[in-house]
Every structure is written in structure tokens, then in C-alpha cells.
Amino acid sequence: MSRLKRTLCALVSLCVMIAPAYAADFVVVENSNAKAAIRLGDNSGGTKFAAKELQKYVKAMSGVELKILATNEVAASTILISNERKGLKRDEIGLKVTSNGSTLELYGEGRRGAINAVYELLERWGVRFFGVDPKSDKIPSKTTLSVPSDLSYSYAPPFEQRFPGSIALDRNVGPAWAVKLRVSREYKKIGGKRDAQMGGGHSLGNKYYINPQKYFEAHPEWYGLVGGKRTKGVQLCHSNQEMRKQLLEEVKAKLKVRKDSGAFDLDGITYVSLSYLDSNRFCKCPECKKLLAEWGGSRVGPLLDICNYVASGIEEEYPKARILTLAYWDWVEPPKKVPRELHKNVYVTICQNGNKALPVRVQETPMRRLTEWGKIAPGRLTIWDWDACFRNYITPHPIYHLYADDFKTFRDLGVKRVSTQMEHGAVFADFVELRTYLYTKLHWNPELDTDEMAKEWIDHCCGAGSVEINAYYKLLERAVWGDEPKKRKTRARMHGYNPGRGWLNALNLGKSFMLFENALAKTAGDKFTHGNVRCLSAGMLMLVIERYDEVKAVFEDAKKSMNDASFENIKLPSRLELVDRFEQIGKDFYIWCWREGPQPRDFKSLVKSLKEGTR
């Protein structure tokens, strides 16, 4: 063999030997041995927290505790965690193996960017964060953990604000879970603040701004003229120039306090909520009537006018302060006449209150509103959605099947922020943790598969009873959308005040009861899954109690109406026995109110009315 051939053969052999090394995965743990260490790319609280979370979950999966390197320490393979990456979009994250294969970079924008990147990696390894209780975490056992050597992933969510108003994510209930779900709400102890907002949804004329307890006696002219007299608890006199000046001063004062305390987000952005009270009683003074006429008689016109006034007044000192206002109730319709262009820092939040049994994209009125508001406030639309049944938080309200469809619609229309008002009084409200999980996951990425995620949640959280609870999940879907639910065609009308009427018949209620009875029996030996099934049963149970005679009639004719011999051995307890069962669930799981609106709303009063048969 010539020297040239021997040289070529050697080179080929060397390439064969080297190629697998570059093609091999980046290995973190191999055969229960650590193959990489964690390095902090910066010294921020979010990065430190992210490193600890990665260390904790890797150990839970593999039994191996990865070392977090000190500043002067080195390692052959490192996982570099950092928030300090320039040029990223808002909340963008990245996972990347460097070209030499020695480093896995986990990075992200914002104080929680690195945290979000770590949770993305953990989910790729099969970890799931299914609920408030850490026992809800699904943590697979693995002796080897790795990522592809050519991994180069980056993603920015479509919405700046991502938060469902669920009791499961309340600051006092589930802040740790909320961070794992990548919501945008601020949690001071976990990664710092992000979405800084001043004031509640209905802020003009209450404790937030122009407080009547403080000003009404001296300045009654600042408040609405209704029924011939100035009145508290109604809309302000929006044409009053002195009131406007006072409002501007109050907004500036609050902005200064927040700025001095570091409450603005990383971009220097804060939101100032300026919206009408939750009332349809408006000022009837001559000047307000004149202002209303300027906006073509549109109820929302004076509100937009006052938002423009404040936005212009704070722009020089706070150029990134955004005025956030509500298009809601009597003032949800966009004005036909816009005498003054909406200020570039005024954002409009549209309250979505259509038929929750249908996707937004097929509903004429909601789509028209979104389109017309988009022309008035281009690129500055936000959504306030309603996910709860306000008349009864506990009963079934299966609109979670439409989350992904609606999020895609909002994304494609350029909506910046989406939040929803879920139940906020009962942990055992209908599928509350599953709904919260689906909402936040799809909020981050609307392309995920809803049914696949729901099945994974139910399989883990309901264990031996998962077959029955999956069947219940599908039963609710078919009850609304029929035998071809993916077509989303229905005559049912679901909204915030329709607790299972018209779409959930007595036969399906009977089937639901039987499914839960079987699931409870199957999970009796496991505290975690049995507790979850009990909690999930509350919504169905309440409807059975309220419609007991209808369901009882179904049971009396069970063989004929259900055509399923497996149900024949299950008996329907007495109504009072079911109320006792329902009451015990309420005692075992957190609840402070069961509906929005009129008193009494406490659980004891609800149980009392059920026992007395007045509901």
C-alpha cells in the first residue's frame, strides 16, 4: 500500500472515530452518574432559583445531585444558566448545545427567563407540573438524561400577559405552581416582578382614583349627575376639567411611588388601569351629554377621552406607561365616531362574553368587535375572558376544549395580553386544576394538543380511576358538541350564568354519577388519587342534588335507559346522603364562596339551602 493510500485510510479511520463524538448527545446523567455540572451565567435571583430547581428535579428523576459550580470552578461539561442574553423578544427562552459540544445553554429574557428555560428542559425529560400540591408533579425515573448534540431551540410566547384568574394560582395558594406554568404575574419571592399594573378593573370613582370617601363632600361636581343630583357609586362626571386634573395628579403620584420602589418591569413598562365602575349609571349633565355626542353617542367615548387626557399628561415623564381600559357591558361596542385618535399608549381590553360553547372565530359579534377595535387601537388590544360559571363556580362548565382555538384567533389578530376570570372561591370548582393547567400551557403555546394534555393530567392525577374520569371528560364534551365534537357545532348556549342547564341532561348526569362511583371505588387505596377524584366529583354531585328527582327517575329505569349492565349494581343514595357527602368535600377542600353576586355566597349557606331543598 502506497504512503498516500495509508495516509487516506488513516484519515478515514480518524474521521470515523471522531464523528460519533460530535454526533453523540449532550449527556447530563449517564447510568446514574453525573456527567455535567451547573454554572451560573449571572448572579441574579432568578438564575440562582433556576439552578436550584434543575438540581432538585434531576435528583428526583435520577438520584444524582448535579454540582452547582463556584465562580472559580471548571468542568468538562456544563449547563450554563443565564438571564443576560441580549436581543431577545419578550419572555423568549432558548436551549442550545454549543458547537464544541461542551456546554448546554439555558437562557431567557426577563427576570424569570432562565427559570422558564429550565422548566422547558424538564418538561422535555417528561416532568409535568399538574397542580398546587407538589405531589401532583409527574417525575419519571431515569438513569440517563441527555439532549441532542444539535439542540438549538428558541421560542417566544405570543402574549405579553399570561394569567388565568384562578384560585389555584392565588398568591396565597399556588405561587410556586404558577411560576412552573410560566404565568406572567409577579411573585416577589420567585424571580421578581414582571407585569406591573396599577389599579383594578373598575378603578374610576372608587378607592383607586377620585375616591368619593375623600372628595365627594368637598367636590360633588366631580361625580355623576343621576336623577337630578350628584351621586356616589355611579360613573364620574368625565367632562369636569378639575376632576381630570386631580386624576392626572393621582396617577402621577402612584407612578412615582411604583418607580421609586422598583415596581416597573425590566422594560420600564407599567400599566395604569383606568376604567368605568361596574355600573351602567352615567352622568347626565349638559357637558357630559356634549362629550358623549362628540363620540357619536358611544358609551365608551368619554372613557377613551379621559384615557387620552391622562396618557398625554404622563407621556413626557413616563413614556412607557400604558393606560389600560375596559370595553365592557354597556360600553363594549367600539365607537362609530372617533373625534380624536387614540393615544399610542392607550390599550383597550375587550371583555369577551359571547357563547362559550362556540369558538370566537365563528361568532359574528365578538369577531366584529375585535376587528373594529383593532382599527381604533392597532396592536394595542388585550382580552379579558370569562371562564367561570359565575352563578355557580362548582358545577361543570366544559369550555376548556376551546382554549387553543380562541388563543390562536387572538394571536392572529395581534392581541398582546390575554387573561381570564375563572372561579375565585372554590378549589373544588369544576376541573379547576386541569383547567388552569390547560389554560396556562396553551397560553404559552396554542399549538399544543388539548386532549393529549388533558388525558396525561387525568391519567396521573386520577390513577386507577383515570378510565372513568377520562370517560367523564369526554361525556361533557359530547354533551355540548355531540358525536363529532371537533366540528364544534352546537345549539347549546354556555355563558357565565348557565350552570349545566340545557346541555347536560339527566341521563348524562346519571352516567356521570356512576363513573365517579366506580372511580372512587378503584382509587380507595390511594390517598392522592382518591382525593383528586373526590374533589372532581363535587360539580357533578351538586347538579345531581339540585336535579335529584330527574336523576332518580333515570336510575329507576337504568337498564332500559343506559343499556349497560355494569351500572346496575350502583344505587343512587338519598338526596340528604348526597348533600352530606358534598358538605364533607367542602370541608376537606378550600372554599370561601361558591358564586359571584348576591349574598349569601358562603358554603355553609349553600349546604343549608340544599338540605332544606330550597335550591
Cell numbers for 607: 349546604
Residue 80: closest CA among 58, 92, 98, 99? 98
Residue 543: closest CA among 396, 435, 413? 396
CA–CA–CA angle 492, 495, 500 (5° rounding): 60
Say if residue 445 is in the same domain as residue 534.
yes
Which of 257-261's residues contact partners 24+ apart within 8 Å by CB, and which partners?
258/196, 258/198, 259/318
The verdict on residue 246 lying in a domain is: yes
The verdict on residue 466 lying in a domain is: yes
Which segments of 156-314 are extended strands (E)?
Answer: 161-165, 197-198, 225-226, 229-230, 270-273
Q: How many residues does the chain have?
A: 615
Say if residue 150 is in the same domain as residue 189.
no
Q: What is the pLDDT of residue 469?
A: 97
Cell numbers for 569: 349494581
Say if residue 315 is in the same domain as residue 442.
no
Whether residue 596 contacts residue 422, with contact meaning beta carbons closer than 8 Å, is answered with no
Amino acid letter for position 428: F
Mean pLDDT is lowest, of 61-65, 174-178, 190-194, for 190-194
Say if residue 204 is in the same domain as residue 178.
no
The string of DSSP codes covering 5-26 is HHHHHHHHHHHHHHHHHHHS-E
pLDDT at 388 over 80: yes
Say if residue 529 is in the same domain as residue 445.
yes
Instruction: Please tell me the distance from the alpha carbon of residue 162 to that of residue 142, in angstroms, as a whole number.
Output: 32
Q: What is the pLDDT of residue 265?
A: 55
Cell numbers for 440: 396556562
Give me the number of domains the chain comprises: 3
Instruction: Please tell me the distance from the alpha carbon of residue 467 to that of residue 447, in angstroms, as a whole number.
Output: 26
Say if residue 174 is in the same domain as residue 44.
no
Which pTM does this prediction carry? 0.89
Average pLDDT over residues 482-493: 79
Say if residue 409 is in the same domain as residue 342.
no
pLDDT at 562 over 70: no
Instruction: Please tell me the distance from the alpha carbon of residue 137 to that of residue 339, in angstroms, as a whole number.
Output: 54
What is the span of the domain harbouring residue 130?
21-155
Residue 600, C-beta contacts closer than 8 angstroms, at least 6 positions apart = 606
The verdict on residue 359 lying in a domain is: no
Cell numbers for 96: 442550545
Give whichever of 384-398, 526-540, 585-599 has the largest mean pLDDT: 526-540
Q: What is the pLDDT of residue 22?
A: 43
Question: What's the chain's average pLDDT?
Answer: 88
Residue 350: closest CA among 280, 278, 420? 420
Residue 194's pLDDT band, with cuts at 50, 70 and 90, is very low
Mean pLDDT is lowest, of 16-25, 136-145, 394-403, 475-484, for 16-25
Whether residue 340 contacts residue 308, with contact meaning beta carbons closer than 8 Å, is answered with yes
Q: What is the pLDDT of residue 21?
A: 39
Q: For residue 535, give the H/E element and its range.
A: helix 527-546
The DSSP secondary-structure symbol of 93 reads E
The verdict on residue 357 lying in a domain is: no
Mean pLDDT is lowest, of 34-38, 103-107, 243-247, 585-589, for 585-589
Amino acid letter for position 304: L
Give the HSE-up count for residue 128: Cα atoms under 13 Å, Cβ half-sphere. Answer: 20
The verdict on residue 517 lying in a domain is: yes
- Nearest-10 crossing angle of helices 527-546, 548-556: 100
For 395-450, write each residue's pLDDT tens digit. 898 888 899 999 999 999 999 889 888 887 777 778 889 999 999 999 999 999 99
Whether residue 48 contacts residue 18, with contact meaning beta carbons closer than 8 Å, is answered with no
Say if residue 174 is in the same domain as residue 203.
no
Say if residue 426 is in the same domain as residue 482.
yes
Say if residue 438 is in the same domain as residue 296.
no
Longest dimension (CA), the chain: 111
Q: What is the pLDDT of residue 19?
A: 42
